Amino acid sequence: MTLLAPPPFAGTLLTPASPGYDDARRVWNGAVDRRPAFIARCRSADDVVAALDLARRHDLAVAVRGGGHSIPGWSVVDGGLVVDLTEMKEVRIDPASRTARVQPGVTWGEFDAAAQQHGLATPGGEISHTGVAGLTLGGGIGWLSRMHGLACDNLLGVELVTADGEIRHVDDTTDPDLMWGLRGGGGNFGVVTSFSYRLHPVGPVPGGAVFFPGERARDVLRLYRDLGAAAPRELSLVAVQVTAPPAPFVPEEFRGRPLAGLSAAWFGDPDDGERMLAPVQTALGRPVIDLLGVLPYCALQQSVDASAPWGMRSYVKSDFLDELDDAALDALADHAARRSHPMSHVLVRRLGGAIADVPADGTAFAHRQAAHMTTIVGAWDAGADPAPEIAWARATWTATRRLARGTYVNHLENEGTARVREAYPAATFERLTALKTRLDPANVFRHNHNVPPSVG
């Protein structure tokens, strides 16, 4: 029996007996270990059509893999079929129109490198091995977001294969409602086989990070809050509570010790960079590690890759928050100090700026007025009991829940329907449900943070 006919398939179909199968089923989160029946490595939209036809004819659950960076491992499914897009790697930059066309197997590091050859960029994630596809479809928050919005705000159009096997070219003219849903609604509506983005001029970036001993976390968090409240949109800020790695830039006496730091990037006039970053560098006295300077944009985008290496076993909790009061900052400092694994960490990112310029109903990403976003990562070693770090992450997350105003779909674990609903206000979820019912009434694309179709 020919499994992938009709239609014809020009990619590679892997089964558990195929060479390379185990590598192909691995995803970023090393805690995920699933064994699909088939992995269809696609090279084109037509291959995606053929793969979906296989799933339909054999009643297989479908997972879609772009970068494989989904936190709960939605990129792979036990016993089903993975539509694997990792070999679709084309990036086309048009410097004249400041636009890009990018296939879904591309990572942000690859996209950034291609765009920076022309001094251009679009907002993307800050871990460079994250895929463009999932991050964009869920929103896409990164260093450039206060200046130029989310990745999805810069999405101009897509090529999309829907559940019925139709290849559609979608933009704000051909199907504005679907474009609305693709800007933050996740992978609920089909398989995107090409993204078109708006690009912006971005040169070398004044920025970097400073770190203080972990016992100064309260001071660092207050400085983050106060600087962020007055910051122009050109300034991006993140407060970090981490464990110092055994890296050359860390003084030997601080290696393996808790640190509290501020990461910053300035996207305004470069001549103003030193002045705008001075409070980060000097307000709390001399930092024990000072990495502020001027760095290439690609270097900025790769600067925290070591905090999320491929294969890391992790559990993540996250929320959007209102303005932080002293009690919330103290709680974050206290709980961060209780982490036990050196890769576990707590981040608080300043939002606002261009993110808040878009109306709440302008895209499926609707939590536009949130002031901050927490990202709490619990990590553990292979063979170790994950329960203590998971419990720590949950307790740290709970400490600021009273200020929560929704959550970021890209940071969700497999936490159930109620948490997916927190990612979308009621009116947004209702509109997403109607869109899902139109495009995927059988819920073929359900191995995700699912918006189910209406019943009946």
At 286, list the tokens: 């001399």
pLDDT at residue 449 in the model: 97
Residue whose structure tokens are 């899902």: 436
Strand partners, 259: 213, 242
CA gap 20, 195 in Å, rounded: 28
Query: CB of 329 within 8 A of CB of 422?
Result: no
Report pLDDT for 3: 54
User: Mapped to the 3 state alphabet, what secondary structure does the chain carry?
Assistant: CCCCCCCCCCCEEECCCCCCHHHHHCCCCCCCCCCCCEEEECCCHHHHHHHHHHHHHCCCCEEEECCCCCCCCCCCCCCCEEEECCCCCCEEEECCCCEEEECCCCEHHHHHHHHHCCCEECCCCCCCCCEHHHHHHCCCCCCCHHHHCCCHHHEEEEEEECCCCCEEEEECCCCHHHHHHHCCCCCCCCEEEEEEEECEECCCEEEEEEEEEHHHHHHHHHHHHHHHHHCCCCEEEEEEEEECCCCCCCCHHHCCCEEEEEEEEECCCHHHHHHHHHHHHHCCCCCCEECCEEECHHHHHHCCHHHCCCCCEEEEEEEEECCCCHHHHHHHHHHHCCCCCCCCEEEEEECCHHHHHCCCCCCCCCCCCCCEEEEEEEEECCCCCCHHHHHHHHHHHHCCHHHECCCCHHHCCCCCHHHHHHCCCHHHHHHHHHHHHHHCCCCCCCCCCCCCCCCC
Q: pLDDT (tens digit, 0 to 9) for every residue of the chain, 456 residues total?
A: 345 445 689 999 999 999 999 999 999 999 999 999 999 999 999 999 999 999 999 999 999 999 999 999 999 999 999 999 999 999 999 999 999 999 999 999 999 999 999 999 999 988 999 999 999 999 999 999 999 999 999 999 999 999 999 999 999 999 999 999 999 999 999 999 999 999 999 999 999 999 999 999 999 999 999 999 999 999 999 999 999 999 999 999 999 999 999 999 999 999 999 999 999 999 999 999 999 999 999 999 999 999 999 999 999 999 999 999 999 999 999 999 999 999 999 999 999 999 999 999 999 999 999 999 999 999 999 999 999 999 999 999 999 999 999 999 999 999 999 999 999 999 999 999 999 999 999 999 999 999 999 975
Q: Domains in the chain, start-ordered, CATH in brackets? A: 12-84 (3.30.43.10), 91-201 (3.30.465.10), 205-411 (3.40.462.20)
Predicted pLDDT at 318: 98
User: How far is Cα 131 from Cα 328, in angstroms, rounded to an integer?
Assistant: 33
* Cross-sheet strand order for the sheet of 38-41: 12-14, 38-41, 81-84, 62-65
What is the predicted pLDDT for the residue at 456? 55
Q: What is the pLDDT of residue 246?
A: 94
* Per-residue pLDDT, 1: 36
| Structure-token pair, residue 101 | 């066309």
212-233 in b/e form (b: 16+ CB < 10 A) is bebebbebbbbbbbebbeebeb
- Strand bridging mode 91-94 / 81-84: unpaired
169 within 8 A of 235, measured Cβ to Cβ = no
Per-residue pLDDT of 221-251, as tens digits, reads 999 999 999 999 999 999 999 999 999 999 9
pTM of the model: 0.96
